[in-house]
Amino acid sequence: MSVLDEIIDGVMADLAVRMQTCPLDDLKESAHRQDPALDPMPTFRADGVNVIAEVKRASPSKGSLAPIKDPAALAEDYAVGGAAAISVLTEQRRFGGTLEDLRAVRSRVTVPVLRKDFITTSYQLWEARAAGADMALLIVAALEQDALVSLVERARSIGLTPLVEVHDEPEVQRALDAGADLIGVNARNLKTLEVDRTTFERLVPSMPSGVVTVAESGVRGPHDVIEYGRLGAQVVLVGETLVRGENPRETVADLVAAGSHPALQHRA
């Protein structure tokens, strides 16, 4: 069994408990009471490289990264530093996150918020919207094609922008076939946890000009933002570098400044 399979098994077990506690109709009612979801795409399509800053306590590959006692305060620092959106890990077993983290972040920031989790059911999308998320991660490697298509459509129907994550060429095609227009390339193989920093460069040529490209994993500093931008990234998602740093606000500001370099011009 791969690491991804193990994570999903745990996610499904935890989900079963939540589904017994909160019926779907109650979730939908909570979602409908939320303010309309924010659309990140106009900002993401602008020139330069935007930064999605991540609230992340741990990872399967590195273990504990940071305690993050106040995720909302951290997210506020990110936003003040210029982050275009905030990603919140809500998977609890391997990443130490919760939906409460997402709710806390949503209450403090005015930029779009991404629920980053291992989503395999529409119930989880409703959970995301009810907690105030504007975006939801969908991982191609975790989904059969019919499920991927269905979840992309359902996400949009309830106001969420789907960020569809890929790791190789066949997954890029599957994402495009599902109608994805925001595609994240994760340099970390979720089955082995190994990082291949050439993944983005290899995959981005296969994406049409209308697709917004997100580079995930491997951003260690401003130089990586510039390099990803030169390769065609319109957005970078950064987690470990920020939560392990001493001053996340300044670190985000440095990454944002690098993404605003005049040489980084992108397709519309």
Q: Give the pLDDT of residue 263.
A: 76
Which pLDDT band, with edges at 50, 70 and 90, does 268 fall under? very low
pLDDT tens-digit readout, 54-75: 999 998 888 888 889 999 999 9
The answer to whether 142 and 154 are in contact (CB under 8 A) is no
The catalytic position among 91, 165, 171, 240 is 165
116 has catalytic annotation: yes
**What integer is the mean pLDDT of 128-141?**
98
54 catalytic, yes or no? yes
Give the pLDDT of residue 221.
93
d(CA 140, CA 121): 13
217: annotated active-site residue: yes
Confidence of residue 261 (pLDDT cuts 50, 70, 90): confident
Instruction: Give the residue from 125, 132, 60, 55 showing the smallest Cα distance to 97.
Output: 55
Selecting among 76, 91, 127, 216, the annotated active-site residue is 216
168 pLDDT above the threshold of 80: yes
pLDDT per residue as tens digits for the range 2-29? 888 999 999 999 999 999 999 999 999 9
Question: Where does the chain show beta strands of DSSP type E?
Answer: 50-55, 58-59, 63-64, 85-89, 113-116, 135-139, 161-166, 182-186, 212-216, 235-238
pLDDT tens digits along 77-118: 999 999 999 999 999 999 999 999 999 999 999 999 999 999
Tens of pLDDT, residue by residue over 219-233, are 899 999 999 999 999
User: Residues 56, 59, 171, 189: which is the catalytic one?
Assistant: 56
Nearest 10 degrees: CA dihedral of 214, 237, 223, 197? -70
pLDDT at 187 over 50: yes
Whether residue 234 has pLDDT greater than 60:
yes
